[in-house]
């Protein structure tokens, strides 16, 4: 049996020879924010978030686990906080853990009936995301929000449901505070 070199999770950074990085810029988030016209006016090459991930087994391996760290920048598009795309898992019943490393935000969870709730993210907070829940994170602070994630290697991603239908509400800054607003409420 070949032993693997351990990866490092040190000073809040995931390091190692097999870490895969993915960046998401404002130009990648067309149509995600209510105020799309305002997103277009912003610098398209502005980094919104990046993920460092460790995939010790192939995607789809039943029983395997993946590990990642997401760094979400502070920022707004109109009254909406910078956020991750959000997704269901392709195998919808697969659960996941998030935990907050630094910064402040909200974890937005939505089930298939489009019922939605939020959990406050602050350093040390641990979040169990049950299966069948779309999950998205918004950075509600003025500094970087960094969180870890651990999920099953066969979970996969269903991005298309959120791309086409969105979440049933968006996290918006109202009188300085994060509030969930439906598009109907925004339009008032």
In the list ligand S6P, Zn ion, none, the entry touching 51 (Cβ below 5 to 8 angstroms by class) is ligand S6P
Q: Distance of CA 183 to CAs 34, 66, 85, Å?
A: 7, 34, 17
The three-class DSSP label of residue 119 is strand
Residues lying near Zn ion in the complex (CB under 5 A) are found at 96
Least Å distance, CB 57 to ligand S6P, is 15
In this structure, the strands spanning 47-54 and 65-72 are antiparallel
Q: Does residue 83 interact with ligand S6P by CB under 6 A?
A: no
Residues between 109 and 138 that touch ligand S6P (CB under 6 A): 135
Closest approach of Cβ 55 to ligand S6P, in Å?
11
**Long-range contacts made by residues 177-181, C-beta under 8 angstroms, separation at least 24?**
178/81, 178/106, 178/118, 178/138, 178/140, 180/108, 180/116, 180/118
81 contacts 107 by C-beta, under 8 angstroms: no
149 interacts with ligand S6P by CB under 6 A: yes
Cβ-based nearer residue to Zn ion, 52 or 96: 96
User: Residue 51, interface with ligand S6P (CB under 6 A)?
Assistant: yes
Binding site for ligand S6P (CB under 6 A): 51, 68, 70, 84-87, 96, 135, 149, 151, 155
């Amino acid at each position: 049996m070949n032993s693997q070199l351990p990866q490092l999770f040190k000073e809040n950074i995931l390091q190692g020879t097999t870490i895969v990085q993915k960046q998401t810029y404002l130009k990648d988030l067309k149509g995600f924010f209510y105020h799309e016209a305002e997103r277009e006016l912003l610098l398209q090459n502005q980094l919104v978030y990046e993920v460092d991930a460790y995939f010790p087994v192939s995607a789809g391996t039943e029983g395997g686990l993946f590990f990642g760290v997401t760094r979400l920048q502070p920022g707004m598009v109109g009254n909406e906080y910078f956020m991750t795309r959000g997704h269901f898992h392709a195998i919808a019943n697969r659960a996941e853990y998030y935990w907050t490393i630094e910064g402040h935000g909200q974890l937005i969870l939505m089930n298939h009936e489009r019922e939605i709730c939020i959990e406050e993210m602050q350093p040390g907070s641990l979040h169990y995301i049950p299966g069948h829940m779309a999950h998205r994170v918004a950075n509600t602070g003025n500094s970087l929000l960094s969180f870890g994630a651990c999920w099953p290697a066969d979970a996969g991603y269903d991005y298309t449901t959120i791309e086409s239908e969105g979440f049933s509400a968006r996290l918006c800054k109202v009188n300085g505070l994060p509030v969930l607003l439906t598009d109907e409420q925004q339009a008032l």
